[in-house]
Amino acid sequence: MDMILNYIDQHMEPLCLLFCSIVFAAVCLLLYLRERSRAAQTEALVLGERGFYRSFAVNRQDFFMLVGRSDLHIHYISPNFEALTGLDTERVYADLEVLRSLVEPKTARNVLKELKAWDQTRELKLEFGYKAYGRKRERHGCVSIEPDKDRYLVVFNDNTEDYEIRSSMKRELEHAYQESQAKTDFLSKMSHEIRTPMNGVLGMLSLAKAHVRDPKQTEYYLDRAESLSQFLLTLINDILDMSRIESGKMELEAVPFDLFEVAEKLDSMFRNTTEAKNLFWDVQMQDFDVSRVVGDELRLTQVIINFISNAVKFTPAGGSVIVTFRQMHKIEGKLHLMIRVRDTGKGIKADFLSKIFRPFEQEDASTAHHYGGSGLGMAIADNIVKLMNGEIIVESEEGKGTEFVVYISLPIAEGEQRVPDSWKEMKDTAGEEDRKKAIEEFTLEGVRLLLAEDNDVNAEIAMEILEMEGAVTERACDGLEAVRMFEESPENGYDAILMDIQMPNMTGWEAAAEIRKLQRPDADIPIFAMSANAFVEDKRHSMEMGMNGHITKPVDYDEVRRLVGEALLK
State the residues that interact with ligand ADP by CB under 6 A. Answer: 306, 310-311, 314, 343, 345-348, 356, 362-363, 367, 373-378, 402
- Among residues 347 and 479, whose Cβ is nearest to ligand ADP? 347
In the complex, minimum distance from the CB of residue 276 to ligand ADP, in angstroms, rounded to a whole number: 18
**Residue whose CB is nearest to ligand ADP in the complex, by number:** 373
| Closest C-alpha to 531, from 426, 468, 453, 422 | 453
Strand-pairing partners, residue 528, are: 498, 549
Residue 61 or 367: which CB sits closer to ligand ADP?
Answer: 367
From residue 269, alpha-carbon distances to 39, 261, 263, 301, 528 in Å are 102, 12, 10, 11, 21
Separation between Cα atoms, residue 279 and residue 11, nearest integer Å: 147
3-state secondary structure (DSSP) of residue 178:
helix
Min dist CB 87 to ligand ADP, Å, is 57
For the bound state, the minimum distance from the C-beta of residue 540 to ligand ADP, rounded and expressed in Å, comes to 24
Nearer to ligand ADP, 141 or 390 (CB): 390
Asked whether the beta carbons of 528 and 566 are under 8 A apart, the reply is no
Beta carbons within 10 angstroms of residue 187's beta carbon: 12
Give me the least distance between CB of 284 and ligand ADP, in Å please.
18
Please state the separation of Cα 533 from the chain's center in Å: 24
CA distance 257 to 477: 37
Q: How many other β-carbons are positioned within 10 Å of the β-carbon of residue 507?
A: 19
Rounded to 10 degrees, what is the CA torsion of 496, 500, 505, 510?
A: 60
Looking at the Cβ atoms of 339 and 413, the one nearer to ligand ADP is 339
Angle at 272 between CA 271 and CA 274, to 5 degrees: 70
What is d(CA 475, CA 13) in angstroms, rounded to the nearest whole number? 146
CB of residue 224 vs ligand ADP: minimum separation in angstroms? 19
Report the residue number, 113 or 358, with the smaller CB distance to ligand ADP.
358
CA 524 to chain CA centroid, nearest Å: 42
According to DSSP, residue 549 is labeled E
Name the 3-class secondary structure at 525: coil
CB of 417 to ligand ADP, least distance (A): 32
- 302 and 379 Cβ atoms separated by less than 8 Å: no
Q: Which is nearer to ligand ADP, 452 or 536 (CB)?
A: 536
| 405/477 with CB nearer ligand ADP | 405
Closer to ligand ADP by CB, 320 or 458: give it: 320
Least distance to ligand ADP from the beta carbon of 228, Å? 15
Q: Three-state SS string across 431-464, please?
A: HHHHHHHHHHHCCCCCCEEEEECCCHHHHHHHHH
User: Which H or E run includes 552?
Assistant: strand 549-552
Minimum distance of ligand ADP from residue 238's CB (angstroms): 8
Nearer to ligand ADP, 63 or 314 (CB): 314
Strand partners, 450: 474, 497
CB of 489 to ligand ADP, least distance (A): 45
CA distance 342 to 400: 11
Distance CA 376, CA 244 (A): 13
Residues near 163 by beta carbon (within 8 Å), at least 6 away in sequence: 127, 140
> Quick one: 2 or 351, whose CB is closer to ligand ADP?
351
325 versus 486: smaller Cβ distance to ligand ADP: 325
Contact 449, 498 (CB under 8 A): yes
Cβ-based nearer residue to ligand ADP, 189 or 516: 189
What does residue 524 show for φ and ψ, rounded to 5 degrees? -95, 20
- Count of CB atoms within 10 A of residue 499's CB? 29
CB of 370 to ligand ADP, least distance (A): 10
Of 315 and 409, CB closest to ligand ADP: 315
Cα–Cα distances in angstroms (integers) from residue 318 to residues 275, 280, 281, 321, 344, in the given order? 10, 7, 11, 10, 9
Minimum CB separation from ligand ADP for residue 371, in Å? 7
For ligand ADP, give the closer residue by CB, 315 or 473. Answer: 315
Secondary structure element (H or E) that encloses residue 134, with its range = none
Looking at residue 14, its amino acid is: P
| Min dist. Cβ of residue 374 to ligand ADP (A) | 5
Least gap, CB of 126 to ligand ADP (angstroms): 49
Nearer to ligand ADP, 53 or 371 (CB): 371
Residue 308 Cβ vs ligand ADP, minimum distance, rounded to whole Å: 9
Q: How far apart are CA 377 and CA 324, in angstroms?
A: 20
What's the CA dihedral at 202, 203, 204, 205 to 10 degrees? 50
Q: Are 263 and 323 in contact (CB under 8 A)?
A: yes
CB of 314 to ligand ADP, least distance (A): 4
